C-alpha cells in the first residue's frame, strides 16, 4: 500500500500558471478528484486483502482417505465328526427307497475344508453348510463369493436297484464344482454352480441355479431352505438316464439329449444343544424334468430324502 500511495502522489497534478488567454480544459478540474478516488479504492482493496483470512483446506473425501489394511486372521484348525441316518430313493427316478447309515465328518483349516456329502450337518463359521469334498474359498468381491470344491463321485452300480440290472456301471470319478454366489441380504443368497467330471469318466456336467435363505431362530437354533433348477449335458443324461444299445436290460434303447434335469427344494434345521454337540435334520425333494423324466428308467419323477444326524464339534 505505501508503494501505491507513492505512485499516485507522483501523478497528482501540480499548479500550472494560467495565462489569461488560455481556456481551461474541462478535464483539468476533474483530474484531482479522479486521482483521489483511485487512491481511496486502492487503499480499500489493499486493506481488504490484508484482512482476508487464509483459505481453509478442503476436508478430504472419504475416498481419499486410505483405510488401514485389514490384518489377516491366523488360520485355525477345526474338525467335526458324527453319524447320519439317510432315507431316500435308491437312484434318481427309482420308486424303491431305503435307509442307510452314513458317516459325517469335516475338517477345516483357514479357507480350506474337507467334508463328506452330508455337509448340511456341518456348518462353517458364517453359519452356512459346507460344500461336500475338498473345498476352498476363492474370495469375495462386494456381494459376490466364489468357492471351488473337489469331491469323489461314487458313480452308480447296476446292483443298486433291480431296474438297473443289465446296465453298465457308472464309474467313480473326480468332480470339480465351481460356485459363484451373490448375497441378496444377510439371510438370502442366489448362486450359480457348475459340477463337472474332471477325470472324464463319462460323468458329464451339471449346471444349477439355486436360491437359498436361512437364519437364526434362537441363539442355538439355525434354519435353512432353498430351491433350485438343474440342467445336464448329454453325457450325464446318457450315463444316468439312458439305456445304451447292446445291453441285457429289459428296457428299450434310450439315448437322451442335453436339457433340463430337475427342480428341487429342501429345508434344514440344526440345534447346538451343547458347546461340542450339534443335532440336525434335513428334508429334500426333487422332480425330474425333460429327458430325465422321459427315460424308461424313471419309475417315479418325484424323489425325496430325509437326513437326521448328530455331530461332535472339535472347537466349541
Query: Across the chain, what does the average pLDDT equal?
Result: 81
Measuring CA to CA, how many Å separate 153 from each of 125, 196, 251, 294? 26, 10, 26, 24
Cell 424323489: give the residue.
303
For residues 79 and 314, the answer to whether their CB atoms sit within 8 Å is yes
Whether the predicted pLDDT of 286 surpasses 90 = yes
Instruction: Say how far apart CA 258 and CA 242 lie, in whole Å.
Output: 12
Instruction: Say how far apart CA 227 and CA 216 lie, in whole Å.
Output: 19
What share of the chain in percent tops pLDDT 70? 73
- 207 or 25, greater pLDDT: 207
CATH number of the domain to which 119 belongs: 2.40.160.40
Whether the predicted pLDDT of 262 surpasses 80 = yes
Instruction: Say how far apart CA 220 and CA 223 lie, in whole Å.
Output: 10
In a domain, 30, yes or no: no
Domain range enclosing 278: 82-313
Residue 133's pLDDT is what? 85
In a domain, 299, yes or no: yes
CA proximity to 280, closest of 131, 134, 133, 129: 129
**pLDDT tens string 246-257:** 999 999 999 999
In a domain, 76, yes or no: no
In a domain, 123, yes or no: yes
Residue 126's pLDDT is what? 54
Count of domains observed in the chain: 1
Range with lowest mean pLDDT among 112-126, 207-221, 291-305: 112-126
For residues 286 and 263, the answer to whether their CB atoms sit within 8 Å is yes
Residue 37's pLDDT is what? 44
In a domain, 1, yes or no: no
Give mean pLDDT, residues 2-7: 46
Q: Where are the alpha helices (DSSP H) in 143-233?
A: none
Amino acid at each position: 500500500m505505501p508503494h501505491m500511495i507513492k505512485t499516485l502522489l507522483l501523478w497528482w497534478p501540480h499548479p500550472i500558471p494560467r495565462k489569461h488567454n488560455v481556456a481551461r480544459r474541462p478535464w483539468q478540474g476533474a483530474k484531482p478528484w479522479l486521482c483521489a478516488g483511485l487512491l481511496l479504492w486502492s487503499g480499500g482493496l489493499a486493506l481488504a486483502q490484508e484482512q482476508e483470512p487464509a483459505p481453509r483446506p478442503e476436508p478430504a473425501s472419504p475416498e481419499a482417505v486410505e483405510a488401514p489394511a485389514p490384518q489377516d486372521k491366523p488360520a485355525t484348525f477345526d474338525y467335526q465328526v458324527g453319524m447320519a441316518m439317510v432315507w431316500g430313493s435308491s437312484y434318481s427316478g427309482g420308486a424303491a427307497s431305503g435307509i442307510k447309515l452314513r458317516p459325517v465328518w469335516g475338517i477345516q483349516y483357514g479357507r480350506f475344508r474337507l467334508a463328506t456329502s452330508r455337509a448340511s450337518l456341518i456348518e462353517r463359521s458364517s453359519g452356512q453348510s459346507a460344500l461336500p469334498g475338498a473345498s476352498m474359498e476363492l474370495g469375495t468381491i462386494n456381494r459376490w463369493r466364489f468357492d471351488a470344491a473337489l469331491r469323489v463321485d461314487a458313480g452308480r452300480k447296476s446292483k443298486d436297484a433291480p431296474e438297473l440290472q443289465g446296465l453298465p456301471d457308472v464309474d467313480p470319478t473326480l468332480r470339480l464344482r465351481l460356485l459363484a454366489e451373490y448375497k441378496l441380504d444377510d439371510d438370502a443368497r442366489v448362486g450359480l454352480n457348475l459340477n463337472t467330471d474332471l477325470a472324464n469318466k463319462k460323468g458329464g456336467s451339471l449346471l444349477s441355479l439355486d436360491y437359498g435363505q436361512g437364519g437364526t431362530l434362537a441363539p442355538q437354533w439355525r434354519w435353512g431352505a432353498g430351491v433350485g433348477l438343474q440342467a445336464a449335458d448329454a453325457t450325464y443324461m446318457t450315463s444316468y438316464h439312458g439305456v445304451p444299445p447292446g445291453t441285457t436290460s429289459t428296457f428299450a434303447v434310450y439315448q437322451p439329449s442335453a436339457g433340463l434335469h430337475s427342480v428341487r427344494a429342501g429345508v434344514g434345521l440344526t440345534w447346538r444343544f451343547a458347546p461340542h454337540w450339534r443335532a440336525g435334520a434335513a428334508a429334500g425333494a426333487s422332480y425330474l424334468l425333460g429327458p430325465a423324466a422321459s427315460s424308461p428308467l424313471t419309475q417315479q419323477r418325484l424323489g425325496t430324502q430325509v437326513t437326521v444326524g448328530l455331530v461332535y464339534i472339535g472347537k466349541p
